[in-house]
Amino acid sequence: MFDRFFGRPESSGPEDRVPPGQALTSKFPVLHYGPIPRFDPETWDFRVWGEVESPLRLSWEEFNQLPRTTLKIDIHCVTRWSKLDTRWEGVSVRTLIEQGLIKPLPTARYVMQHAEYGFTVNLPLEVVLQDNFLLATHYEGEPLTPDHGFPLRGIIGHIPDKDGLVTPYFWKGAKWLRGLEFMAQDRLGFWEQAGYHNEADVWKEQRYA
């Protein structure tokens, strides 16, 4: 079987879609550090800064006018639960770049997600631009609930039958997201500083550093 060489299954029956050390759940557990922030649509903003041609600041109203994308992914939490076929809707960073709203400088190689209360998550820019990463406002057709990150969160997971995408654990998406910092050099986010693996590939079981 060649699939082991490539670190992920070739076919995608339900069993093959569960990475090593994970178990399926039909629930949607809530996991985060700290309290759930309140949302005020008047003061909320979404900012992009760092290694970009010009910084961007959008109000909640403006954010809701951005082009939208839907995405179905399997999500894998480092605490060992996995959930298949989760459906999300939101805004793709790649679309924002294609439309010229964000113009990364040639030096931009990493992206820090910045969330409420100073929470951070880092990813390589190339992963943020993959089809399996989204700035999500909706889950299963409804706005996110407060405990799952309302009004905006990053999400990342595995797209079945799609090869070649890096699939990190679900913590690599920040709930209560408020901005993206484009960076020339990598910096560790909150859980990465706490000892979780920087790349966090689910098929390689990269849980801890």
Ligand X SMILES: Nc1nc2c(c(=O)[nH]1)N[C@H]1C(S)=C(S)[C@@H](COP(=O)(O)O)O[C@H]1N2
Of the candidates 111, 174, 180, 200, which one interacts with ligand X according to CB under 6 A? 174
Output 34 or 67, the one with its CB closest to ligand X: 34
Kindly state the smallest distance separating residue 195's Cβ from ligand X, in Å: 12
Q: Which of ligand X, Mo ion, none is residue 176 near (CB under 5 to 8 Å by kind)?
A: ligand X
Of the candidates 1, 15, 23, 33, which one interacts with ligand X according to CB under 6 A? 33
Torsion sign across C-alpha atoms 99, 105, 110, 116: negative
Kindly state the smallest distance separating residue 159's Cβ from Mo ion, in Å: 20
Contact 182, 105 (CB under 8 A): yes
Q: Is 209 in the site for Mo ion (CB under 5 A)?
A: no
Q: Is 171 in the site for Mo ion (CB under 5 A)?
A: yes
Output 69 or 120, the one with its CB closest to Mo ion: 120
Is beta strand 81-91 parallel, antiparallel or unpaired with respect to 133-139?
A: antiparallel
Q: Is 168 helix (H, G, I), strand (E, B) or coil?
A: strand
Contact 162, 169 (CB under 8 A): no
Output 32 or 47, the one with its CB closest to Mo ion: 32
For residue 88 the two structure tokens come to: 């999300």
Burial of 161 (0-12, 13-18, 19+ CB in 10 A): exposed
Residues within the interface to ligand X (CB under 6 A): 29-33, 77, 115, 119, 148, 170-171, 173-176, 191
